[in-house]
Structure 1
Amino acid sequence: MRNTLVILLLACSTCLFSQDYFLKQYEPYKSGIPSPEEFLGYGIGEYHTRHDRIVRYLEVLAEASDRAQIETYGHTHEQRPLVILRISSAENLGQLETLRERHLEFTNPDTPFRADPDLPVFINLGYNVHGNEPSSSEAALLTAYILVASEDPRVAGYREESVVFLDPTINPDGRDRHTQWANSYRGNPLVSDPQDAEHNEYFPGGRTNHYWFDLNRDWLLAINPESRGKLNWYHTWYPNVVTDFHEMGTQSTHFFEPMKVNGSRDPIMPRENYEDLNELFAGYFVQAHDSLGSLYFTKEVFDGTYPGYGSSYPDLQGGLGLLFEQASSRGHSQKTAYGKITFPFTIRNQLVSGMATVRAAVENKDYLQRYQKEFFTSALRNAAAGRARAYRIPANPDKNRMKAFLDKLLIHRVKVYEDGRGGFVVPAGQPQYRMVQTFFETYRQYRDSVFYDASAWSVANFYNIDYRAERNFRLGEAVTSLKDLFPVTPVEKSEYAYLIDWNDYNAPALLHELQNKGLVLASSFKPFTTRTGGAEKRFGYGTLVLPVQLQSKSPDEVYQLLREAQETHQVPAFGVASGYHLRGIDLGSRYVAPLEQPKAAMLIGEGVRSYEAGEVWHLLDTRVHMPITKIPLRDFGGASLDDYNTLVLVSGRYSFSDREERKIKDWVSKGNTLVAIAGAAEYAIEKGWVKEKLTEKEQDTTAATERKPYVDAPENLGKESVGGVILQADLDRTHPLAFGYTDSRIPVYKNNEVWLQPSKNPYATVAAYTENPHLDGFLTRENLEDYAKGSASLLVSPLGGGRVVLFADNPNFRGSWYGTNRLFLNALFLGNHIRVPD
């Protein structure tokens, strides 16, 4: 075995001198179609290729050959194009729309299965969703050239029997961030020392997209434009096979499916998918990699339980998702225990896996077509046998949060109907029944206890949506678009004041816009009832008050600014002619306080959890349209905090000096707000910045330690972590941090082991887990009984004249927790009004 590896690595070390290392077995190639080396001016693997050059090469292939067409399906946050190269025979591409319509018959459960032997199989080869796992995009260039230009009879057969949709770079922003790093530090000769800068990116690294999101978790949540574009493309074509190419640690080998057994007790994907189909394709991968002498492994890790991966989402759409993980050179060459691993070597393994996928799909296209048809047919059977015939969503006063949730249903092609009472109905009996399950069903029991990712993803809970399973229901009009779904009545002009409900998701964005344009607004810290528009209306905690005569602008200007903001954010607003109210406080009450405009900063850099930081940045940028200053930790010692009234610390490995700690505490003591999320909350408590405590389990020192097999240690220790569960918390809705909530019970997302004791201060515990808090996901009985029950989810603790807001959970998880975003935004907009008795 060692001799084989030495031969492989020696061969790899010479491959830079010849692209035959990749291409020879598929000779000859059609003249007039340039190879990647001819186009780029260097051989694949010599450098990391920028995304713009990748796109241009695919355009050149489409220009040079009638076997290829290119399409753009979206753009990234940084406006890089997202493209797919369609590859097939000229005849197939000439009638592609007809072929698509025939193919979509396999997704229609209402018609019987009819074999279509002349229909090509649809294959989506997807590459580089993690930007600093770059070998797959280089393999994509080679794969595209082989499939378009090779005259080998095998490849010609692939073109006749398949349509390949090659997506070269799913995450262009992250890729280019890493490409710039790797090429900038590339040595000549190459430096393989793992400590070299080339192999060690600085924060945030190239894995994530512009806002530091992991796009391989975004297929279900559809927060980012990269994912939304791909989902709309996906539901146009419904490919039979989808690949998802990744890299892993340098000391690893190569992974292909089958994955580790699905962790769910009763997975909603068909057993045939993760057993029969995976085993069938694995035979092709085994043959391909055995012929190279490559080492690989299967079944040990990478469970597909979470449905939002690029390799699991297709499994819920009648296709076969396939994960590949290749040991990474993290640059161009790096030492391993077996010798050097080079960039070309990693590229070749990805190329081989991709070509083996095409072969397997072509040779089993009849099976894949029958499987896809049965998948959607079984969806209706399963729905008919289920306990819920439909899920009804009652009317909700927060129309913008409701629209955001409905948007997620529609982008996954889930059918939604109005219920005639202001709410909505999602019937179970539809082709996307398995997505309906994903959105609404919750699970507490699993056959496995260690997950590669989250074990809870009931999307309705992400949005704090009330819903009920029902067996009897009536369908109203189908909802096909969100446009004009909840039209907002234009506010009537007032010479006195305007009132704005704080319970609308977009209210903070409206508030920020008006503050930014020079208006002064106040918040009501007690509810009241008044008359507006000829009727009585109750206004709750946090209602925004915009007094007209106290502004520096004229009443006409105030009205115009409010109307423009209302039109942009679609938030209800009401004019009132008097400050004297029917019930509750009046507008001149001491419980109506002017609001200071947030001036926020956040510490980022090495050691900071970039995912959480990116979620904060994304929330404020894309939904509130409010800037936040991102201060690198390396610059914090010399940075001034005087311009800010809010500082955000997310989870991270902080090691502040005594001087830096004093700087933070002194700044908070002046009346400012520190928001500490999860690990940062734990740090603040451990450092004694606040007088709060962590929940700790009482240890029985007298009990004997049970002896366990060493081999089971990873599984036994892994199940104790909280990888991602949904818990229920009880809110004090009178607290400013809870303003805008209409129900005291809310779902929260926990993916850490930070457990906070309820404060000894009776006014400081804003949210505590309920007596039976477990809603969804895997949680050990020990974590439930010893930690979750009796712990707090959200505390506010005084520090001098200011306060520290302590989140045990992540209120902004993956940009999707609309249900708890408000808690975080309240800390920014209302924090300076929180007075916690010390």
Structure 2
Amino acid sequence: MSKKLLVLALLCSTTIFAQDYFLKKFEPFKKDIPSPEEFLEYGIGEHHTRHDLIVAYLEKLAEVSDRATIYQYGKTHEGRKLVILTISTPENLSNLDGLKQQHLAFTDPAKSVTNYDEVPVFINLAYNVHGNEPSSSEAALLSAYTFVASENPEIVNYINNAVIFIDPTINPDGRDRHTQWANSYQGTPLVPDPQDAEHNENWPMGRTNHYWFDLNRDWLLAINPESRGKLNWYHQWYPNVVTDFHEMGSQSTYFFEPMKANGSLDPIMPKENYEDLNTLFGDYFAKALDNIGSLYFTKEVFDGTYPGYGSSYPDLQGGLGLLFEQASSRGHKQTTDFGEITFPFTIRNQFTSSITTVKAAVENKAMMRKYQQDFFKSALSKASKSKIKGYTFGDDFDQNRVKAFIDKLLLHRIEVYKSSNGSYVVPTKQPQYRMVQTMFETYDKYRDSVYYDASAWSLANFYNMKYKPVSNVSLGEKIDNTTNIVSVPNFEKSEYAYILDWDDYNTPAALHQLQTAGLVVSSSSKPFSSQTVTGEKSFNYGALVLPVSLQKKSSEEVNQALKKVQDKFQIPIYAINTGLNLKGNDLGSRSISAISKPKIAMLIGNGVSSYEAGEVWHLLDTRVGMPITKIPMRNFSRSNLSGYNTLVMVSGKYDLDDKEQNKIKDWVNSGNTLITIGTASKWAIDKKLVEEKLIEAKKDSTKTIVRKPYVNAEENNGKESLGGAIFRVELDVTHPLGFGYHDATIPVYKNNTVWLAPSKNEYATVAKYTQDPHIDGFITDKNLNEFLKPAASLIVSKVGSGRVVLFADNPNFRGSWYGTNRLFINALFLGDKINVPE
């Protein structure tokens, strides 16, 4: 560590909080523009700033300065504002619409404009996607003030030649969760001891948003309002440069790009981006940080292979995404091996990189514009050279799942058309060709074997979408929105019965609403064909039957309840006037039995994966509309499980004593359903809650130990983990957990090394990996052949009168696996229908 850096890190708080520490270089400032310190009534770095105060300050700048305007692009789950402060000269802002059109001309492959140096460069300074990495939002306040108030010639030059969009907090819900924690435990004097509560945030911590999603993985998946709002804004502006500010462990220094080499064998991101532009900008950051004595590193880690980061998504839109990682003070001051790292010091590095980003972009604006123009033109030329001219897709049995997939394509501005045969087609020859590749292409060869995140992201597989590449495309009507994707006929009133098709993604939500309204609905364990009011109709396993005469409500009330759910969820409903079916069992058969209303609890808290718990919570809240009780681990010993028929345990380390383990086992034994996911399934096996086994490595006493260089140990061990890949499983569609599926094989997502051995009970293995299971993503030959191929993905194990549903894989990964959500939802609604024969 440099002497200068150490001195700065050890400066006492009364000196380090002074405004000059950050801003002296950019004097003079306009006197009528309040600084952050004047507005907040404390110095930046003295406390963690709440998001509402951050927004209020930016609103104040927009109010008092003709250099700034503010725009709200959305709200978080908890109702906090998502805003962008636009900064430039008054002249540029008054002509912003005109500049926007000139700027967008460079993203249109049909245009050949050449005024590269005449249009201000568009820069998005984006901060704080991880809520408990707070230094960058404080730097956003300093950056906003500097660009709005500084009269320094350097800053004036920047705003003359740039339009700067400051997004101060991408994850306000998570930030405020952490802000409350850090400020609550802040001592006077500050306590730098790493063991102090201030530096050890409680579960689920502030990294994630309201539903505990990592928003830095959500740019591609766009499940949350924060991401959807930002994407809608992004595709209106297509900034040339986008920042992505983060924090890392306190023992580190500072990281900026270039990153570790892209793990893809043939990256769809242009080489000029991750080599030339990153290196060019990196030289600027090195010089700026050298000038303030900060240490840093590049290239070693943080591969940008996954396209859903804030620092990688812009790279697929003709821009340059830039990642920054600052060693965190994890509070206001903390002791490290190199002395004490302070909150103001971390802010200063982020502020310096913010200003430097604008400097580099302005000084290379012609190059950035030419690069963006070439990016979109090359999309068409590359598509023309490809043998694949498009992808057709669709699903005859589930219109709402198709609608959700089309919504995702349109959000990324991918062109979708109706094809001549009634399915849908995405042509490859379009400006968003690289996003089309991202959505549909799969890979089995890679340059690298260790990934910072997922190595598979073909979203068509996430949605279990039937798709295929085609060499010719026939384009019909262009799809601009999803309003008319789903078409279901109205049903007539019946005095006898109604049938709801279980195949549709939205039917479980409709079922829950009907049960909540007091109606009794049954599920058929066998397929059948009925003479409906509108004609003969075949129904799949799991079809819902609602007999009118058995309800406590009148036939008119039943009809109105069904109309409400069809209007809301757009699902197929059929009126029936006879219980005598054309094929299969009749409506009074014992194969058609009433569904118990799920009463669900889930263990959360220390040791539990907040990501997976949040995925379950989000699924039930936002798509099914079903409440779930979240029981903290600290309360489990005194909790009463008798009010629930389903308990969910996601991946985690469950430190439960014998009494607590027996409590779960006795509850399951009495007829209830335990659902375990990932390492929770391993826990259930290890604790002998079930009589199932794991596939373990074979011991070979004759194996010769080969010496290897120590320096390669981390890399060699890392490749044996499974960061995230897609595999094919054989599914028993006759099993209650397989109801609603028509295909015997489906894709699943695996990001763990939990290998379930197929059950010894021949009826208990619901899903098993095929003999040729690989679809997309990296896996070692050893993991593929020794562990995955022989393994099961989903097992149900009988425990007394109840059962444990063991998922090896996560069916709800990042809120995006529409294709396997049904497996999990079936376990909730139909768990008690599973009576595994001995």
TM-score normalised by L of structure 1:
0.99
Q: Deviations over 1:635-670 (max 9, x none)?
A: 000000000000000011111111101110000011
Secondary structure of the residue aligned to 1:143 is helix
Q: Distance in 2 between matches of 1:116 and 1:757?
A: 61
Aligned residues of 1:5 and 1:338 also touching (Cα < 8 A) = no
Which position in structure 2 is the counterpart of 1:283? 283
The yes-or-no answer on 1:588 pairing with 2:584 is no
Q: 1:471-490 alignment to 2 at 5 Å?
A: 471-490=471-490
Which position in structure 2 is the counterpart of 1:645? 645
Which position in structure 1 is the counterpart of 2:756? 756
Q: Deviations over 1:339-361 (max 9, x none)?
A: 10000000000000110000000
Q: Distance in 2 between matches of 1:379 and 1:484?
A: 30
Q: Deviations over 1:778-805 (max 9, x none)?
A: 0000000001111000000000100000
Q: Distance in 2 between matches of 1:444 and 1:10?
A: 50
Cα distance, 1:17 vs. partner?
A: 4.4
Cα distance, 1:387 vs. partner?
A: 2.3
Q: Deviations over 1:57-103 (max 9, x none)?
A: 00000011000000000000001000000000000000101100000
Which position in structure 2 is the counterpart of 1:781? 781
**Which shows bigger deviation, 349-358 or 394-403?**
394-403
Cα distance, 1:117 vs. partner?
A: 2.3
Which position in structure 1 is the counterpart of 2:198? 198
Cα distance, 1:2 vs. partner?
A: 4.7
Q: Deviations over 1:511-547 (max 9, x none)?
A: 0000000000000000001111342110010000000
Aligned residues of 2:440 and 2:460 also touching (Cα < 8 A) = yes
The yes-or-no answer on 1:426 pairing with 2:426 is yes
TM-aligned CA distance change 1:395 to 1:654, over 3 Å: closer
Identify unmatched segments of 5+ residues in structure 1: none
Which position in structure 2 is the counterpart of 1:375? 375
Q: 1:373-412 alignment to 2 at 5 Å?
A: 373-412=373-412
Q: 1:723-734 alignment to 2 at 5 Å?
A: 723-734=723-734
Cα distance, 1:807 vs. partner?
A: 0.1
Which position in structure 2 is the counterpart of 1:530? 530
Alignment-mate amino acid for residue 9 of structure 1: A
Q: Distance in 1 between matches of 2:5 and 2:316?
A: 38
Secondary structure of the residue aligned to 2:475 is coil
Q: Distance in 2 between matches of 1:395 and 1:548?
A: 31
Q: 1:47-86 alignment to 2 at 5 Å?
A: 47-86=47-86
Secondary structure of the residue aligned to 1:830 is helix
Aligned residues of 2:26 and 2:150 also touching (Cα < 8 A) = yes
Secondary structure of the residue aligned to 1:695 is coil
Which position in structure 1 is the counterpart of 2:344? 344
The yes-or-no answer on 1:359 pairing with 2:359 is yes
Which position in structure 1 is the counterpart of 2:468? 468
Q: Distance in 2 between matches of 1:722 and 1:44?
A: 41
Secondary structure of the residue aligned to 1:593 is strand
Aligned residues of 2:728 and 2:746 also touching (Cα < 8 A) = yes
Q: Deviations over 1:124-177 (max 9, x none)?
A: 000000000000000000000000000000000011000000000000000000
Which position in structure 1 is the counterpart of 2:673? 673
- Moved runs in structure 1, 4+ residues, more than 4 A? none
Alignment-mate amino acid for residue 99 of structure 2: L
Which position in structure 1 is the counterpart of 2:212? 212
TM-aligned CA distance change 1:759 to 1:795, over 3 Å: same
Cα distance, 1:443 vs. partner?
A: 0.5
CA RMSD of aligned residues (A): 0.8
Cα distance, 1:3 vs. partner?
A: 2.6
Cα distance, 1:386 vs. partner?
A: 1.4
The yes-or-no answer on 1:663 pairing with 2:666 is no
Q: 1:5-84 alignment to 2 at 5 Å?
A: 5-11=5-11, 13-84=13-84
The yes-or-no answer on 1:416 pairing with 2:416 is yes
Which position in structure 1 is the counterpart of 2:551? 551
The yes-or-no answer on 1:126 pairing with 2:126 is yes
Q: Distance in 2 between matches of 1:18 and 1:253?
A: 23
Secondary structure of the residue aligned to 1:443 is coil
Aligned residues of 1:213 and 1:611 also touching (Cα < 8 A) = yes
Which position in structure 2 is the counterpart of 1:439? 439
TM-score normalised by L of structure 2:
0.99
Which position in structure 2 is the counterpart of 1:243? 243
Q: Distance in 2 between matches of 1:15 and 1:704?
A: 61
Cα distance, 1:14 vs. partner?
A: 4.7
Alignment-mate amino acid for residue 146 of structure 1: T
Cα distance, 1:395 vs. partner?
A: 4.2
Which position in structure 2 is the counterpart of 1:266? 266
Which position in structure 2 is the counterpart of 1:721? 721
Cα distance, 1:586 vs. partner?
A: 0.3
Cα distance, 1:489 vs. partner?
A: 1.3
Cα distance, 1:8 vs. partner?
A: 2.3
Q: Distance in 2 between matches of 1:10 and 1:194?
A: 16
Q: Distance in 2 between matches of 1:293 and 1:695?
A: 52
Alignment-mate amino acid for residue 569 of structure 2: H
Which position in structure 2 is the counterpart of 1:182? 182
Q: % of aligned pairs identical? A: 66
Which position in structure 2 is the counterpart of 1:492? 492
Which position in structure 2 is the counterpart of 1:320? 320
Aligned residues of 1:186 and 1:332 also touching (Cα < 8 A) = yes
Aligned residues of 2:494 and 2:577 also touching (Cα < 8 A) = yes
Cα distance, 1:766 vs. partner?
A: 0.2
Q: 1:78-157 alignment to 2 at 5 Å?
A: 78-157=78-157
Secondary structure of the residue aligned to 1:630 is strand
Which position in structure 1 is the counterpart of 2:829? 829
Q: Distance in 1 between matches of 2:17 and 2:3?
A: 23
Q: Distance in 2 between matches of 1:587 and 1:29?
A: 79
Cα distance, 1:16 vs. partner?
A: 3.8
Cα distance, 1:472 vs. partner?
A: 1.3
Q: Distance in 1 between matches of 2:492 and 2:421?
A: 26
Aligned residues of 2:438 and 2:457 also touching (Cα < 8 A) = yes
Q: Deviations over 1:354-401 (max 9, x none)?
A: 100000000000000000000000001111111210001144320000
Secondary structure of the residue aligned to 2:322 is strand
**Which shows bigger deviation, 161-170 or 465-474?**
465-474
Alignment-mate amino acid for residue 768 of structure 2: A
Q: 1:606-621 alignment to 2 at 5 Å?
A: 606-621=606-621
Q: Distance in 2 between matches of 1:833 and 1:778?
A: 37
Aligned residues of 2:221 and 2:308 also touching (Cα < 8 A) = yes
Aligned residues of 1:620 and 1:627 also touching (Cα < 8 A) = yes
Q: Distance in 1 between matches of 2:10 and 2:655?
A: 44
TM-aligned CA distance change 1:17 to 1:439, over 3 Å: closer
Aligned residues of 1:264 and 1:448 also touching (Cα < 8 A) = yes
Q: Distance in 2 between matches of 1:95 and 1:699?
A: 72
Q: Distance in 1 between matches of 2:75 and 2:832?
A: 39
Secondary structure of the residue aligned to 2:766 is strand
Which position in structure 1 is the counterpart of 2:742? 742
Secondary structure of the residue aligned to 1:107 is coil
Cα distance, 1:13 vs. partner?
A: 4.4
Q: 1:787-806 alignment to 2 at 5 Å?
A: 787-806=787-806
Q: How many residues align?
A: 838
Which position in structure 2 is the counterpart of 1:635? 635
Alignment-mate amino acid for residue 106 of structure 1: F
Aligned residues of 2:2 and 2:294 also touching (Cα < 8 A) = no
Q: Distance in 1 between matches of 2:168 and 2:753?
A: 38
Cα distance, 1:708 vs. partner?
A: 0.6
Aligned residues of 1:500 and 1:574 also touching (Cα < 8 A) = yes
Q: Deviations over 1:552-582 (max 9, x none)?
A: 0000000000100111011100001001011
Cα distance, 1:484 vs. partner?
A: 2.2
Aligned residues of 2:599 and 2:645 also touching (Cα < 8 A) = yes
Q: Distance in 2 between matches of 1:18 and 1:393?
A: 60
Q: Distance in 1 between matches of 2:266 and 2:159?
A: 38
